[in-house]
């Protein structure tokens, strides 16, 4: 039978996972998918992801590609994969694509979202998905700084030590900070004196969303940490421009915690 190339769209809750890439210890998304696919394909397979999300990072629309030779229908593969996978990893869609398709190398852009809960009381149903900042944040200053990232820049100030790429130049198509409606359970639902808690204490859920042709390891989390420093008033929004002009990693903000980061989607031609 001729080989088939499958495109998988996957969603996962990354709290307990070691990230996308298979590792010697702990469960990875790649490892779980390969384990679930092997009996269906009749032999071991290698699954390629569009991006290597780190431990604790979540995905709403990760994309993977894999070559198989099995004759199962797409519907059967879809059902069988979800039956084999743990409930915190779900295959949303299975499609057969051109053999030249590669989840990583065919990608044209990725979108990430980082969630910051700005308030004193975060729902117990949400703490795994946000970075809680108690002190007030200046949303306008954060938005001004975020927009400075649009374009092609040198991102050395947001590059982790030991990263594999030889260049830190990346192109950002969209970058912005806004209030976010959440997932239904993210905002507190307790009521005090007839007023919802998020209105009572001024709490807000903020989302930093960025679309780019590619990202360095920890880049989005480093940007999020820098934006929070600006929101706290530790630096003006113009600080972001100076970091893009020859800044070093030690000059920028701390790397934000993993649990607030989501890979939202991957775009292809």
Helices (H), 58-187: 74-84, 139-147
Side-chain half-sphere CA neighbours of 112 within 13 A: 26
Whether 188 maps to a domain, the answer reads: yes
Task: Confirm if 128 and 151 have CB atoms less than 8 A apart.
Answer: no
Pair 142, 68 in one domain: no
Pair 113, 58 in one domain: no
Name which of 24-33, 51-60, 163-172, 236-245 the model is least confident about: 163-172
Whether 103 maps to a domain, the answer reads: no
Q: Does residue 198 have a pLDDT over 50?
A: no
Pair 122, 252 in one domain: yes
Instruction: Indicate the pTM of the whole model.
Output: 0.91
Pair 160, 78 in one domain: no
Split at pLDDT 50, 70, 90, the class of 188 is very low
Residue 126: the pLDDT is: 87
Pair 118, 206 in one domain: yes
Give me the domain span that covers residue 32.
Answer: 4-97
Angle between helices 29-41 and 74-84 (to 10 degrees): 130
Task: Confirm if 94 and 74 have CB atoms less than 8 A apart.
Answer: yes
Pair 262, 129 in one domain: yes
Residues tagged active-site: 54
Across 11-37, average pLDDT: 96
CATH label of the domain that carries residue 87: 3.30.70.580
Across 218-245, average pLDDT: 96
Residue 122: the pLDDT is: 85
Angle between helices 219-231 and 139-147 (to 10 degrees): 140
Pair 90, 131 in one domain: no
By three-state DSSP, how is residue 211 classified? strand
What the block records as the tokens of 183 is 């997932």
CA distances to 100, 141, 187 from 232, rounded to whole Å, are 47, 9, 21
Pair 230, 137 in one domain: yes
Look at the chain and report how many structural domains it folds into.
2
């Amino acid at each position: 039978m001729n080989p088939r190339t499958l495109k998988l769209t996957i969603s996962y809750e990354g709290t307990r996972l070691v990230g996308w890439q298979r590792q010697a210890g702990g469960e990875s998304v790649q490892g779980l998918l390969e384990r679930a696919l092997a009996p269906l394909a009749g032999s071991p397979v290698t699954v390629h992801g569009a991006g290597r999300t780190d431990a604790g990072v979540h995905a709403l629309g990760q994309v993977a590609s894999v070559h198989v030779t099995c004759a199962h229908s797409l519907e059967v593969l879809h059902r069988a994969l979800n039956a084999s996978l743990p409930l915190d990893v779900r295959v949303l869609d299975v499609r057969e694509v051109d053999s030249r398709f590669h989840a990583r190398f065919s990608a044209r852009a990725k979108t990430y979202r980082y969630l910051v809960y700005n308030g004193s009381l975060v729902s117990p149903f949400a703490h795994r998905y946000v970075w809680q900042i108690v002190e007030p944040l200046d949303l306008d200053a954060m938005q001004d700084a975020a927009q400075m990232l649009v374009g092609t820049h040198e991102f050395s100030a947001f590059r982790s030590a030991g990263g594999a790429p030889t260049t830190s130049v990346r192109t950002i198509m969209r970058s912005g900070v806004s209030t976010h409606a959440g997932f239904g359970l993210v905002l507190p639902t307790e009521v005090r004196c007839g007023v919802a808690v998020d209105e009572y204490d001024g709490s807000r859920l903020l989302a930093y969303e960025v679309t780019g042709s590619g990202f360095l390891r920890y880049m989005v989390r480093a940007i999020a940490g820098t934006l929070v420093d600006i929101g706290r008033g530790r630096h003006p929004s113009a600080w972001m421009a100076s970091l893009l002009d020859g800044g070093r990693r030690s000059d920028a903000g701390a790397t934000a915690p993993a649990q607030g980061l989501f890979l939202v989607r991957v775009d292809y031609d």
